[in-house]
């Protein structure tokens, strides 16, 4: 075999103008370029995390509103019968009473605000009103009820719901007389 391979001396590496490797400025540039890419990826990661956090928070708020509106609408629709609804004031707040007549007697579902939550109490119609007897449905600081022209509108902090009643109602606040013990007669 000859001492030359492809026109170059054997055993010698040809470096095009660089006998000892790249200069320091090329190494610094490569390192700086790498750092820029790493910082750009971190910035994009942080941006993506913030966008995800915002989406999850908005989804949670939508879930709360959907839950609140579903509870209110379904409670009223389940008790939509002639003269079944009544609005009262209880501990300075509005309370919606929904009367349910069954073979076993009359029962009432009461919706009211207490301690920052909408409360629901289901009991016999003759049972006195007790705020502590209800259970929490969802957080809210306010509850308002308005009835006009067959449309019942209930407002809370997370949502306002309007339900078209299928049964005719008289005025909600004087449709039935209170028996003095919190029951509906």
Residue 170 DSSP one-character state: -
DSSP 98-131: EEEEETTEEEEEEEEEETTEEEEEEEETTSPP-G
d(CA 35, CA 38): 5
Residue 185: band (very low, low, confident or very high) from pLDDT cuts 50, 70, 90: very low
pLDDT digits (tens, 9 = 90+) for 24-53: 888 899 999 999 999 999 999 999 999 999
Buried b (16+ CB within 10 A) or exposed e, 2-37: eeeeeeeeeeeeeeeeeeeeeeeeeeeeeeeeeeee
pLDDT digits (tens, 9 = 90+) for 94-148: 899 999 888 999 999 999 998 889 999 998 988 887 767 789 998 988 899 988 8
- Size of the chain, expressed as the number of residues it contains: 185
Q: What pTM, to 2 d.p., does this model score?
A: 0.64
Residue 10 DSSP one-character state: T
**Bridge partners (DSSP) listed for residue 98:** 85, 109
């Amino acid at each position: 075999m000859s001492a030359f391979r492809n026109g170059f001396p054997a055993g010698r590496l040809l470096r095009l103008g660089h006998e000892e490797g790249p200069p320091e400025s090329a190494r610094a540039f490569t390192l700086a370029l790498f750092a820029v890419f790493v910082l750009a990826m971190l910035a994009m990661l942080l941006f993506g995390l913030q966008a995800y956090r915002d989406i999850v928070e908005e989804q949670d708020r939508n879930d709360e509103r959907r839950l609140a509106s579903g509870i209110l609408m379904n409670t009223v629709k389940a008790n939509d019968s002639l003269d079944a609804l009544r609005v009262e004031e209880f501990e300075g707040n509005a309370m919606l009473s929904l009367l349910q007549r069954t073979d076993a007697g009359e029962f009432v579902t009461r919706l009211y605000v207490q301690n920052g939550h909408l409360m629901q109490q289901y009991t016999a119609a003759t049972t006195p009103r007790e705020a502590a007897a209800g259970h929490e449905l969802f957080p809210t600081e306010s509850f308002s009820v308005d009835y006009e022209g067959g449309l019942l509108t209930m407002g809370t902090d997370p949502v306002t719901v309007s339900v078209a009643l299928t049964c005719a109602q008289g005025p909600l606040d004087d449709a039935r007389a209170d028996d003095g013990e919190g029951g509906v007669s």
